[in-house]
Every structure is written in structure tokens, then in C-alpha cells.
A and B are shown apart, each in its own frame.
Chain A
Amino acid sequence: MTKKIDLEESFLYDRHLLEYIHRASEHGLYDIRGLGAKRKVPNFDDLVFLTASASRYPLEGYREKCLTRTVLGTRRAKKPITLDIPITIAGMSFGSLSANVKEAIGRAASEVGTSTTTGDGGMTREERASSKTLVYQCLPSRYGFNPQDLKQADAIEMVIGQGAKPGGGGMLLGLKVSPRVARMRTLPEGIDQRSACRHPDWTGPDDLTIKINELREITDWQIPIYVKLGATRVRDDVKLAVKAGADVVVVDGMQGGTAATQQVFIEHAGIPTLPAVRQAVEALDEMDVLGEVQLVVSGGIRTGADVAKALAMGADAVSLGQAVLMALGCNSPSYFDGQESVDVSDEYAKLGTGPGYCHHCHTGLCPVGVTTQIPELEKRLQPDWGARRLKNYLQTLTMELTTLARACGKSNVHHLEREDLVALTVEAAAMAKLPLAGTDWIPGDGRR
């Protein structure tokens, strides 16, 4: 008689968790990885649009105009930024990404009329030359931060935090600290580099007010100043950023990506983008600066539908990071060598992963040449090819965005509004403060 084998898996100690405990027990190390949260959290997929019907009048999907022009930094800057679309590229460092990738991003962004952003490590000549509109980040590390580049910037982004690791500093492991990266960051080559989690020259919000004024003085009050926040205490933080003088507030939800940080940070710190955007809009409203201070939302924006929903909830623009890398081939089984696709599944396997599952940006061994500083790998992503792919992707998002906006009867994507949305789950309804589909019920609003 065959003995029955009991394979009842524990919910609390499932195979994934057991693997974690065994690995921790063996090595005494926590996991470090790239990209963003993999756990399922309420997100924009949990919302749907109430497009036009008898009670609303739609616009013709292919012929009638639907404007996408977006202006950021109107509060105090003499030269606000005007973009053709409300989809911007988030800050990603040269160091985590190759110079080819930075160039491809700049070219694609310029072709579709949007901005791109530097990152930890400073501004490369490739990205300045290729980017029509470039936002220059002022990060706690201040790697490569200098007045010459500041004066070449179209806007400044004061980075307080990042959705993937709010409250934590950055990491760039030794393999990616190439001679050029090291030179730009004033560091020895090949060391495991830590970026500071706090700014070196200011601490609290009162100091930030003075710091922002310093940057305005240095740039003669010409260009906008953004303040980027990792989404945690969003309502308070947005208000403090506004009070400190931000022209634009960028709120990055927990689904936002990183080049490298501890997994415990990625999965267990910060709040999802969905409640973050709602809280940010409420904070701006309570400060009576809606429309005066613009809101950019990031963290898991992937599709035109995500963009449309973020705008409907009150964002002025969105910012994309991980999705940009994926458009450039991240997690693809092959790269394009100029003539044909070359399969690199075996290289993913050497990293202990596979295409579709990879988050090994921190190793610098990216099989498709996106997150690397190794010249042989970097060559796998050529700027021409990358720029074309990314342009196509951004163009697709824009078409999806305007399709939804027209169907809601809007001739301008910025006219999308909360009233156009409902939630599919109780959690999303509570976090977004939108009615559950088919009901008038908004969990937590006190009404019955």
C-alpha cells in the first residue's frame, strides 16, 4: 500500500519564505537587488474609467484633438518647463545605467517632447547633449554635483526620498564603479559605494526652504525646482515641500524601482502609489496650491491607462523608470546586435534567474546591456535602437492616454477627473477614496 504523502504547505512559512530563512541561515546576509516591489498591492489596475454613454458625450477617438501639453514649474520659476506629453522620465543614474542607455533615453524623450532626469552620479555629456529638457537631481550624495552642470539644467530636482527605499541611501556595488563612474563620483574604483540617506548641508524642512532659495539664487530664479519624496507620510511631506518653496512635487510610490537596495526595503517600506497620489492631491488642495504647484507621480506607471488614471486622480504628470528600462529590453530573452536577435537566456541562468524574472541590476551583469558598466555588455544596447524602442513605447502610452480621455469626453488629458473613475476592490476604493464600482460607497469616508 502506498503511504499518503502530506504536502500541506504553510501559508505563513511557504516555500518562498522557507527559502529566505534557509538562505539567511546559511549566509548571514540580507538580499540586495534592483527594480521594485514584486508583491501585489492595490494599484491603478484596480480602477476603471466610467467612459461616456448617455450621460456623457465622447470625442471621436481618432480625429478630434485631445491636448497633452503639460507645463511644470509655474509657481516661482521664470522659465517653467513645457512638455508635449505628461509622461516624463524619472531620475536614473549613470553608474546604474550605461552611457548608451542614458543617451537612448535622452534621444527618445526629446523626440516625443518630454523631459528626462539625471540621477546619482551627476550629469553625463551624452545625456545633456541628447536631452532637450533635462532635470538635474540634487541628491544627498552630491556625487558629481557642480555649478557648471546646474547652470545647464532645465530644472532641479531636490531628492529627499525614493519610493523603493524611502529613508534609505543608495548602493552601487563595486562591479559597477568603473573608472568613469568613480571619477564622476570622486571615489576609488571598484569599491562598494554607499550613497548617503541624508543631505550633507541641510536637515529639516526649514533648512530646505533656505536650500531651495540658495539653488534659486545660483540659477537666478530661472528654472523650476522639484522636490521628490518617497511615499510614506505623504500628506505631511507634500505640505512641507510646498512650504519650503517647491514648484513641483514628485511623489514616488512603493512600486518605484531602484538600481540596488535591500529587498526588505523594497517590499516593506512606503505606501503604494494609489493612496500616495490621493494624499498628495489632498495636501495640495488643503494648502490651496492646486494648479499652482504641479504634482508628478511615479512608482509603477506602466501603461497609458495608468497615466490616465494618475491624471484623473489629480496628477499633472507621471514619471517612468522601470518601464523605460523594460522598453529598452530589460528582462527580454534577447538583445538586438544590429542585424538579429541574440538569445541570452543562458546568461540569465548564470545569474540564477531567467528573462521575465530578473532583478539583478545590482550585479552590473545585465544580459541585455541596460544596467551595466562592462563595455562588452554595454555594446548590446545601442542608442539608435534603444531610442527607437523607447520612443515607440512613449508614443503608445500617449495614444492610450488620449484614447481614454476622449472616451471620457475630454479634449485635454488634464481635464480627466476623479469623477471619471471607480474602484474594483474595497481596498482600492478606500485608498483612492473613490466609490466601489456600481455603488456610492467610499470606504472610510464616514458616509453610509
Chain B
Amino acid sequence: MESVALESIDLQKLSVRQLNQFLHHEIGTQSLSRVEILNPKGLHNIAVGLDAPIRVDVRGHGGYFLGGMNRQARIVVHGNVGWSVAENMMSGEVRVKGFASQCAGASAHGGLLFIEGSASSRCGISLKGGDIVVGGHVGHMSAFMAQAGHLVVCGDAGAGLGDSLYEAVIYVRGRIHSLGADAREEPMAEEDYATVGQLLNRTGLDYSPRDFKRVASAKTLYHWNVDADQQY
């Protein structure tokens, strides 16, 4: 295949398996820097396991696990996504121009996930160092058992936010329906303003970091505590 600046792959003509094979094996052998995926039509497992500094534009809606385990690549979805977008992402960036279903950014170790719209429940569950910015709201149990990294919510947060948090930090601009076990609101420090400002900058969102609240772990469940029976 000859070197071109933009390769278009039509999922009406090729299967997801062929697409991923191409992205895994042929991309490194060409001087491609940009791939466009047409007609994704909610298909699952689009552009998973990428490991190259390329840009991928998905022109439409994606299904489950879009961008799963991403390393290095910058993926832009011009539509909505199903469950677990960018799950276990290691690095790179996934940007969703629409809305995301459940478990967005689950267990992400690194990289940036930016959802311009809202994300459903369990956004940032088990987060392990990645950063997630949501332009709208997040559903219940978001950042459940999140271990490291940041979740920035520009809208409201649903019930049980940050349940059983470890070291991840959540910033919410809007209303928090309720906090989960061991999560607590804390004062914003200069470091928090800087973190939020930097993440907003990267996403192009024009909010003031001063409008955000910080939620972090109270760390009362870090060690076994018999009096916290129903909180475990």
C-alpha cells in the first residue's frame, strides 16, 4: 500500500477484525499519520489495542469498548459511544464528541478521555491513573473504587459518587446527588485549581477552575474497621 496522509476505512466494506488488524500491523509499516473510519454504526471493539502515535477519526457512533487498551493513539469519535470507551487505556487520548454509555474510562491507567456530552453510570470506575473530563453530567457510582488519576465533571454527578475511592481525585462543577462510602468533599487547594485548569485547557472547555468542588477519599476504609461494617 502506498504512503498517504489519510486512509479511509469503511466498515460497510471491511470487518472490525480487518480494521483492527490493519491498525495493529500495517500502520507501523506505512507513513500514515491519520486514519478515518466510516460507517461505524455502533459496532463494538472499534480501534482496540492500538499502539502507535496516530490519529483515528471515527465518523459516527461506536459500540462497546471503543479505543479499549489504547496506547499512544489519538482517537476522536464524531458521535456517541457504548459501554466502556477507552477501558484500560494506557496513554494517548480518546475524545467523544457526543455522549458515552456506562463505565467510560474504566480502569484506565493513563491518557486522557474527554467526553464532550454526558457519561452514564460508573464513569471512571476502577480508574488507575488516567484523566477523564466530562463536559456534561455523570451517572451514579462514578469513580467507584478509583485508585489514581482525575475525573473532572463539568455538570452534575449522580448518586454514590466516589464510593470506596482510593487515591483518585474527582472535581465537580455542578451538583453532587450524593457521595459514596468513604468519599468526602474537601477544600480546593492551589494544586487542584492547577490540575483542573490544565485538564480544561487540554479539552478546550472554558470553565473557571474556581467553580469546581474536590471530592477525595476520607481514607477511613484503608484499614479494616469493624465499625464500618455496612460501608465495605
**Residues of chain A whose beta carbon lies under 8 Å from any beta carbon of chain B:** 27-29, 141-142, 145-147, 150, 173-174, 185-188, 191-192, 194, 196, 200-202, 207, 210-211, 213-214, 217-221
- 12 pairs from A and B in contact (CB 8 Å cutoff): A29-B226, A186-B147, A187-B166, A188-B167, A196-B145, A200-B107, A201-B84, A210-B45, A210-B63, A217-B16, A220-B21, A220-B25
* CB <8 Å contact, B69 and A201: no
* CB <8 Å contact, B222 and A188: yes
From 36 to 81 in chain B, residues with beta carbon under 8 angstroms from any chain A beta carbon are 44-45, 48-49, 51, 63-65, 68-69, 71
Q: Which among B44, B122, B167 is the interface contact of A200 at CB below 8 angstroms?
A: B122
Further pairs besides A186-B147, A201-B88: 14, Cβ < 8 Å: A142-B88, A147-B49, A150-B69, A174-B223, A191-B222, A200-B84, A201-B87, A201-B107, A201-B125, A202-B64, A210-B64, A211-B64, A214-B48, A220-B24
Q: How large is the interface on B (under 10, 10 to 19, 20 to 34, 35 or more residues)?
A: 35 or more
Residues of the B chain whose Cβ atoms lie less than 8 Å from the Cβ of A28: 226
Q: Which among A186, A191, A211, A213 is the interface contact of B128 at CB below 8 angstroms?
A: A186
B17 (CB) vs chain A CBs: closest residue: A217
* CB <8 Å contact, B166 and A218: no
* CB <8 Å contact, B90 and A147: yes
* CB <8 Å contact, B232 and A217: no
B203 at the interface (CB under 8 A from A): no
* CB <8 Å contact, A213 and B45: yes
B68 (CB) vs chain A CBs: closest residue: A214
B152 at the interface (CB under 8 A from A): no
Task: Quote the shortest CB–CB distance from B12 to chain A (angstroms).
Answer: 19
Residues of the A chain whose Cβ atoms lie less than 8 Å from the Cβ of B51: 147
B103 at the interface (CB under 8 A from A): yes
Q: Which are the 9 A-B pairs with shortest beta-carbon distances?
A: A218-B49, A201-B84, A200-B126, A201-B106, A200-B106, A142-B107, A191-B222, A147-B69, A201-B87
B164 (CB) vs chain A CBs: closest residue: A194
A142 to B126: give the CA distance in the assembly, Å: 8
A29 to B229: give the CA distance in the assembly, Å: 10
A202 to B87: give the CA distance in the assembly, Å: 10
B129 at the interface (CB under 8 A from A): yes
From 81 to 127 in chain B, residues with beta carbon under 8 angstroms from any chain A beta carbon are 83-84, 87-88, 90, 103, 106-107, 109, 122, 125-126
Binding site secondary structure of chain B:
loop
Residues of the B chain whose Cβ atoms lie less than 8 Å from the Cβ of A220: 20-21, 24-25
* CB <8 Å contact, B166 and A200: no
Residues of the B chain whose Cβ atoms lie less than 8 Å from the Cβ of A186: 109, 128-129, 147-148
* CB <8 Å contact, B65 and A211: yes
A219 to B106: give the CA distance in the assembly, Å: 20
A425 to B46: give the CA distance in the assembly, Å: 54
A28 to B103: give the CA distance in the assembly, Å: 36
Residues of the B chain whose Cβ atoms lie less than 8 Å from the Cβ of A217: 16-17, 20, 45, 48-49
Residues of the B chain whose Cβ atoms lie less than 8 Å from the Cβ of A27: 226
Residues of the A chain whose Cβ atoms lie less than 8 Å from the Cβ of B87: 200-201
Task: Quote the shortest CB–CB distance from B31 to chain A (angstroms).
Answer: 23
A72 to B170: give the CA distance in the assembly, Å: 44
A211 to B63: give the CA distance in the assembly, Å: 12
Residues of the B chain whose Cβ atoms lie less than 8 Å from the Cβ of A188: 166-167, 222
Task: Quote the shortest CB–CB distance from A91 to chain B (angstroms).
Answer: 18
Residues of the B chain whose Cβ atoms lie less than 8 Å from the Cβ of A187: 147, 166-167
Q: Which among B122, B126, B167 is the interface contact of A141 at CB below 8 angstroms?
A: B126
